[in-house]
């Protein structure tokens, strides 16, 4: 157990280091520290649980990159919490945009590392997906404070799908990975980051966000439609494990959209 938990707890130490650096650079309030520490503890707990359940002794190379992304997302969450509860300083905005840009770039890196080292795993793919989803949710909350609460639909999409899995068993299956889904997922992060940078007029920001939400709805709608059409076959084959190629594709998807 000590070996299993080493990686996640090193990640939590990294989260505290990121928060301390932000505190020194832009200053973090109580809300920021609370949000950042909660993200770190959530990541540590869930990742440690996932490793224990799968009997893994350590994080793989790609998982370490994803863990770094997770600590950066915790920093974005901390700044978002402070921005919602207080005044947004220019330094905070550009730090948030810069850290988000690095996190988005590393999203491509961890997929490449998984492929090149042939260490892709189901846990790594799920970890990657959840970090992406949390980043999109946090960015949506940050942007919604100035654009409007409807933007939260972008960040909530992944979690609404998880809620739908409770009453609808056929929604728990996975549709085949599609390149278009990867593109849509990347668009969400890029659009939210651009809008967060406050470089667009208000109307243009609302327009590009609405377009991103429309693409996300189309992607999710296509996935749900495919699952509905194949629900009977999926129920019969749900116990069959995913192939290595499918897992690799999932980890390289870089997003939460279908």
Average of per-residue pLDDT across 148-170: 92
Q: Is residue 19 a part of any domain in this protein?
A: yes
What are the start-end ranges of the E strands in 48-98? Answer: none
Least confident of 36-40, 75-79, 121-125, 249-253: 249-253
Q: Residue 257 domain-assigned?
A: no
- pTM of the prediction? 0.87
pLDDT in tens, 40-81: 999 999 998 888 887 766 788 999 999 999 999 999 999 999
Whether 25 contacts 78, CB under 8 Å: no
Q: Does 254 have pLDDT greater than 80? A: no
How far, CA to CA in Å, does 93 sit from each of 107, 144, 193, 200? 21, 14, 10, 14
Is residue 258 domain-resident? no
Full residue range of the structural domain in which residue 188 is found? 2-251
Q: In Å, what is the CA distance from 208 to each residue of 201, 204, 235?
A: 11, 6, 38
- The total of structural domains in the chain comes to 1
Alpha-carbon distance of 74 to 35, in angstroms, equals 7
Question: For residue 191, what are the CA distances in angstroms to 110, 138, 165, 184, 187?
Answer: 21, 13, 28, 10, 6
Residue 199: both structure tokens together: 């470089």
Q: Is residue 256 part of a domain?
A: no
- Residue 98 resides in a domain: yes
Residue 46 domain flag: yes
Under the banding of pLDDT at 50, 70 and 90, the label for residue 233 is: confident
């Amino acid at each position: 157990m000590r070996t299993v938990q080493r990686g996640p707890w090193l990640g939590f130490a990294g989260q505290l280091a990121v928060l301390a650096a932000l505190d020194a650079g832009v200053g973090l309030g109580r809300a920021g520290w609370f949000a950042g520490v909660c993200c770190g503890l959530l990541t540590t707990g869930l990742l440690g649980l996932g490793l224990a359940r799968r009997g893994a002794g350590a994080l793989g190379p790609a998982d370490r990159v994803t863990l770094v992304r997770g600590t950066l997302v915790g920093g974005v969450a901390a700044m978002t919490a402070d921005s919602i509860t207080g005044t947004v300083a220019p330094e905070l905005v550009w730090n948030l945009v810069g850290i988000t840009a690095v996190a988005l770039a590393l999203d491509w890196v961890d997929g490449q590392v998984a492929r090149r080292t042939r260490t892709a795993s189901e846990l790594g793919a799920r970890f990657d997906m959840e970090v992406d989803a949390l980043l999109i949710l946090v960015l949506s909350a940050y942007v919604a404070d100035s654009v409007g609460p409807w933007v939260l639909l972008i960040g909530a999409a992944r979690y609404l799908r998880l809620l739908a899995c409770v009453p609808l068993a056929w929604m728990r299956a996975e549709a085949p990975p599609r390149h278009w889904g990867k593109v849509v997922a990347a668009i969400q992060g890029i659009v939210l980051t651009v809008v967060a940078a406050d470089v667009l007029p208000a109307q243009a920001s609302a327009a590009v966000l609405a377009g991103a939400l429309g693409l996300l709805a189309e992607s999710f709608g296509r996935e749900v439609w495919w699952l509905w059409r194949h629900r009977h076959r999926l129920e019969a084959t749900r116990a069959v494990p995913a192939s290595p190629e499918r897992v690799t594709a999932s980890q390289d998807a870089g997003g939460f959209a279908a």
